[in-house]
C-alpha cells in the first residue's frame, strides 16, 4: 500500500558519498517501524530509493529528498521530477541548512518548477493536523548536537521553517523542511540519549506528511 520512497539524484558530492544517501538506509527503516506501529497503513518495511529518471517513479505518491543544498540535477532528472510533481506526486524535502544551501535549492527548483513561488505553510493547513496536531515548528538538530545539548542550528540556519510549493489549483506539491533534520531524529529515535522531544516531533511530522500525501 505504501513505499517510503527516497529520491536518488545527482549532486555535488558530500562527505565522500552521494548527498541523497545521508542517513540512508537506517533513517528510512527506523521511520517505517514507527509508521507501521502508529498507523494502520500497510507499509513496505524496507527502503525504496528511486532515481528521478526512473519511469516507475510515478507509481509512488510520496517522495523524500535530503541535502538539496548539494543538488545538481541533470536535465533528464529535472524533466523526471517535474513530470512526477505535475502529475500528482508529493515531495518532502529535509535536512538542509542556511542561506547558501537555500540558494542552491532555489536555483534547482526554478529549473524544475519555473514560476512557482515558495511560501510559508501556515499552522492551520491540514498537513499539520491530518493525523497528529502539530502546534509549533521545532528545530531538530543533528544527532551529535541533539545528544550533547545543542546548539540546535547549523551554519546560519537559526530559524526552522516549513515552506511549500503549490500548483495552479492550490494543490500542495512540495513540503520544504529548512534548518531542521527530521531524518536524524528518525534514525536515532531508539537511542536513549537522543531527546524524546525531537524524535516525537519528527515522527509526528513524517506521519502527517504521508497521511496527507496518501489522502490527497
Burial class (CB in 10 A: 0-12, 13-18, 19+), 119: exposed
**Could you tell me if 12 and 72 are in contact, meaning their C-beta atoms sit under 8 angstroms apart?**
yes
Q: Is the pLDDT of residue 104 over 60?
A: yes
Helix, strand and coil content of the chain, in percent to the nearest 5, comes to: 40, 20, 40
Provide the pLDDT for residue 83. Answer: 98
Predicted confidence band of residue 18 (pLDDT cuts 50, 70, 90): confident
Question: Three cell numbers at 155?
Answer: 551554519
Mean of all residue pLDDT scores within the chain: 95
d(CA 147, CA 177): 21
For 58-91, write each residue's pLDDT tens digit.
999 999 999 999 999 999 999 999 999 999 999 9
pTM: 0.96
Residue range 95-104: mean pLDDT, rounded: 98
Cβ-based neighbour number of residue 174 at 10 Å: 23
d(CA 68, CA 38): 29
Provide the pLDDT for residue 163. Answer: 98
Residues in the chain: 216
Provide the pLDDT for residue 6. Answer: 98
Predicted confidence band of residue 131 (pLDDT cuts 50, 70, 90): very high
Provide the pLDDT for residue 59. Answer: 97
Q: Is the pLDDT of residue 209 over 60?
A: yes
Predicted confidence band of residue 12 (pLDDT cuts 50, 70, 90): confident
Residue range 38-54: mean pLDDT, rounded: 96
For 154-191, write each residue's pLDDT tens digit.
999 999 999 999 999 999 999 999 999 999 999 999 99
Amino acid at each position: 500500500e505504501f513505499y517510503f520512497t527516497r529520491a536518488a539524484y545527482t549532486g555535488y558530492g558530500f562527505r565522500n558519498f552521494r548527498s541523497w544517501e545521508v542517513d540512508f538506509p537506517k533513517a528510512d527503516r527506523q521511520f517505517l517501524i514507527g509508521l507501521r506501529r502508529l498507523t494502520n497503513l500497510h507499509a513496505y518495511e524496507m527502503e525504496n530509493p528511486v532515481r528521478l529518471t526512473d519511469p516507475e517513479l510515478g507509481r509512488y505518491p510520496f517522495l523524500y529528498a535530503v541535502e538539496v543544498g548539494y543538488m545538481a540535477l541533470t536535465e533528464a532528472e529535472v524533466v523526471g521530477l517535474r513530470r512526477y510533481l505535475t502529475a500528482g506526486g508529493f515531495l518532502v524535502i529535509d535536512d538542509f541548512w542556511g542561506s547558501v544551501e537555500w540558494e542552491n535549492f532555489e536555483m534547482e527548483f526554478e529549473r524544475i518548477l519555473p514560476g512557482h513561488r515558495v511560501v510559508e505553510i501556515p499552522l492551520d493547513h491540514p498537513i499539520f493536523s491530518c493525523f497528529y496536531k502539530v502546534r509549533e515548528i521545532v528545530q531538530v538538530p543533528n544527532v551529535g548536537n541533539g545528544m550533547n545539548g545543542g546548539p540546535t542550528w547549523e551554519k546560519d540556519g537559526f530559524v526552522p521553517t516549513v515552506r511549500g510549493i503549490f500548483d495552479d489549483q492550490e494543490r500542495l506539491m512540495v513540503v520544504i523542511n529548512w534548518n531542521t533534520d527530521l531524518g536524524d531524529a528518525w534514525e536515532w529515535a531508539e537511542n536513549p540519549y537522543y531527546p524524546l522531544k525531537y524524535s516525537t516531533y519528527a515522527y509526528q511530522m513524517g506521519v502527517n506528511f504521508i497521511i496527507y500525501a496518501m489522502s490527497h
